[in-house]
Amino acid sequence: MPSIPSTNRFANRSIRDCARDHMLMVMRCDRCGRTVNYWAEDLAKVIDDPFHEAHVPPWGCGQCRTIDYMSIHWHLPSAQELAAGLTVRRPVRQVVKWIWRDERV
């Protein structure tokens, strides 16, 4: 795969491709330094777009509240990494929230 992503989104690796290969997705905020690990299978379940490109972060930083400094990469975790106690963020449940507004009658 070339190092520069193609402008054709279907030629690039998707999160679904990474999930098929059992990869670990590492999202990092270059502004605050926060790093979060996700299993690609979990991201593929959570993200609505089945062809979401793997080099594009799906959301912004949880601390900074910005996507401008986010980077994402994928790799296969080694046995040493897994034995050392790698922390991976996993989805628990989806919460649906109602938004209210005041209207003049």
Query: Which tokens in the block code for residue 102?
Result: 């005041």
Residue pLDDT, tens place only, 22-68: 999 999 999 999 999 999 999 999 998 888 999 999 999 989 889 99
The secondary structure of residue 53, as a DSSP letter, is: B
* CA of residue 47 relative to chain centroid, distance: 9
Please state, in angstroms and rounded to a whole number, the distance separating the CA atoms of residues 86 and 31.
Answer: 23
Query: Where exactly are the structural domains of the chain?
Result: 1-105
Q: Could you report the per-residue pLDDT of 62-104, keeping only the tens digit for each?
A: 898 899 999 999 999 999 988 998 999 999 998 898 998 988 9
Stated pTM of the model: 0.79
